[in-house]
Amino acid sequence: MRTKTKILGIETSCDETAAAVVENGNRIISNVVASQIDIHARYGGVVPEVASRQHLLTVIPVIRQAMTGISWQDINGIAVTFGPGLAGSLLVGVNVAKAIALAKNLPLTGVNHLEAHIYANWLAHSAESSLSTGEETVRVNCEVQFPCLCLVVSGGHSDLVLMKGHGQFEKLGRTRDDAAGEAFDKAARILGLGYPGGPAIEHAACSGTPCLPLPRAWLKRSHDFSFSGLKTALWHLAHKGGVSVADAAASFQLAVADVLVAKTIEAAKQLKVEQILLSGGVAANKTLTQQFLANSPVPVIIPPSHLCTDNAAMVAACGYYHFEAGRISGYDLDVAPDLSLG
C-alpha cells in the first residue's frame, strides 16, 4: 500500500444510500449520506422493496458527489457493505461496487456492516470525539488501543464484542430478542412518537423526568441483553392512561441506558480492556453516552452522532484495514443478509 491510501466506501444495507472517501483509514475526505427516512416515515418503518428501489435511484449520484474533486486515479480500493441487512438493498451496493472495481481496475473488499460500525471509532479521533478518564470528560484526539470492548447498538443488533486487534472479534453477548434501536423504535410507536424512534424518544424525554417504574433485564452471569420485557411494560403503562409521554420516554430511555452501561462496564472490568468503543445508531443517544462517560473506569470512545448512524466513511475505514491485511474479495462477492460478527 502507498503512504496515502484512499478507499471509496459504499453503504446500502438499510435505508441510507451512502458513499465516502477516507484516507489511511482515519481521515474523512468526503462523506455523503442520502437518507430515506422521510419516505419510510409515512409507513412507520423501513419498507424493504421501497428501500432497494430508492438505492437504485440515488447510488450513482451519491457516489459522484463523494468523488467530487477526487480523481479515480487517486482511489486505491473499493469497500462495500455485503451484510447484514436487507437483501435487495445490499444487492444495489455490492453490484455497483463490483461494476466500478471492474471498470476502474481497483481491488474490492466486502465489509461486515457491524464491523464497519466499530471502525467509526477510528474516524472519531479525526473528528473530535469524547474521551473520559472516569473522572472528567475531555475532548481529545484519542487513538484506539487493544484489547477493547465494543458495544454495537443499532436498529438490528445489540452486540458486545471483544476486539483484540484489527479484524479479531470475539462476540461475548447479543440481544436475546429486540435490538436496542428496535426497542427505541417500538417504544416510540407505543407512545405515538415519530420514526425513527431513537431521536423521537430522546427529544420527548428532554421535557420529562425518568420517574416511572420500568423493569431492567440484568440477565446475570451472561453478557446478553433483553429489551422485549421493557417494551411490554411500557405498553402496559401507556395503556393504563394518565401517564405523561415525556416521562414515559425519559423512563424508557434511562432503563435501556442503565442496562447497556452497567453490563458493558462489568464486562470491561472482567476482561481488563484498555477502552470501551461505542457504535451504532443508539450510541448517538446523549443519556447513554453521558452515563458511560460518568461511570466507566476506562476511556470511552464515542464517534460523533453522524458517524454512529449509518454512513460509508466507517465502511471505507474498515475496508482500509481489510486491504492492509490482504483481505480482497472476488467478483463473486455475494450479499449475506444474516451475516454476524465474530
**Residues 6+ positions from 214 with CB-CB distance below 8 Å:** 230, 233, 234, 237, 251, 252, 255
Residues 226, 285, 289, 296: which binds ligand KG4 (CB under 6 A)?
285
Which residue from 115, 178, 185, 247 is in contact with ligand KG4, where contact means CB under 6 A?
185
Total residues contacting ligand KG4 by CB under 6 A comes to 20
> Applying CB under 6 A, does 82 fall inside the site for ligand KG4?
no
Binder among 14, 261, 313, 341 for ligand KG4 (CB under 6 A): 14
Query: In Å, how far from its chain's centre is CA 161?
Result: 13
Stretch 197-256 residues interacting with ligand KG4 (CB under 6 A): 197-199, 202
The region of 46-54, 136-144, 178-186, 267-275 touching ligand KG4 under the rule CB under 6 A is: 178-186
Grid coordinates standing for 274? 484498555
Distance CA 204, CA 234 (A): 15
| Residue 154: CB minimum distance to ligand KG4, A | 3
Q: Which residues make Cβ contacts (< 8 Å) with residue 336, sequence separation at least 6? A: 82, 83, 84, 90
In the beta sheet, which residues pair with residue 81?
111
Q: How far is the CB of 104 from ligand KG4 (least distance, A)?
A: 28
Say how many C-beta atoms besides its own lie within 10 A of residue 239's C-beta. 9
Nearest position to ligand KG4, beta carbon: 198
Q: Is 103 left (phi over 0), alpha (psi -120 to 50) or beta?
A: alpha
Residues 286-315 contacting ligand KG4, CB under 6 A: 309-310
The cell numbers describing 63, all together, are: 457516489
> Considering the rule CB under 6 A, would residue 93 count as an interface residue with ligand KG4?
no
**Does residue 196 touch ligand KG4 according to CB under 6 A?**
yes
Q: Which residue has the cell 445508531?
A: 281
Which DSSP letter does residue 302 get? B
**CB-nearer residue toward ligand KG4: 88 or 199:** 199
Stretch that binds ligand KG4, among 103-111, 120-128, 195-203, 229-237 (CB under 6 A): 195-203
- 3 state SS of 295: helix
Peptide bond into 303 cis (omega under 30): no
Does a cis peptide bond (omega within 30 degrees of 0) precede residue 304? Answer: no
Query: Which stretch, 104-112, 180-188, 270-278, 328-336, contacts ligand KG4 (CB under 6 A)?
Result: 180-188
Q: Which of residues 138-157 bind ligand KG4 (CB under 6 A)?
A: 154-156
Considering the complex, state which of residue 110 and residue 198 has its C-beta at the smaller distance from ligand KG4: 198
282 binds ligand KG4 (CB under 6 A): yes
Helices (H) and strands (E) in the chain, counts: 11, 12
83 vs 181 by CB, closer to ligand KG4: 181
Binding site for ligand KG4 (CB under 6 A): 14, 154-156, 181-182, 184-185, 196-199, 202, 280-282, 284-285, 309-310
